[in-house]
Amino acid sequence: MLPDMEDTLTISCDDCELQGTNACEDCIVTFICGREPDDAVVIDVAEQRAVRLLAGAGLVPRLRHTRRTG
């Protein structure tokens, strides 16, 4: 079942009141969207642990990446 539009969060730089400020430099949206196509997003162990905790609390989706074998 798809959530209603009221139950979704859309993050758009165009809607951000901090757009064009120094806050953009360390924004996660800018970081992920500003990379070259096919570039990996690399996080360290501490960041992975934080993402896992956020996912466990239901604040972000769980990481679905599984490394290919063979």
Number of residues that make up the chain: 70
Give dist(CA 30, CA 52) in Å, integer: 21
| Residue 13 within a domain | yes
State the pLDDT at residue 36: 83
What are phi and psi for residue 11, nearest 5 degrees?
A: -110, 115
- pLDDT at 8 > cutoff 50: yes
State the pLDDT at residue 65: 67
Per-residue pLDDT of 18-56, as tens digits, reads 888 888 877 777 777 777 878 887 778 888 888 888 888
What is the number of domains present in the chain?
Answer: 1
- Domain of 51 in residue numbering reads as 9-56
- 46 and 38 Cβ atoms separated by less than 8 Å: no
- pLDDT at 1 > cutoff 50: no
The proportion of the chain whose per-residue pLDDT surpasses 70, expressed as a percent, equals 84
| Residue 32 within a domain | yes
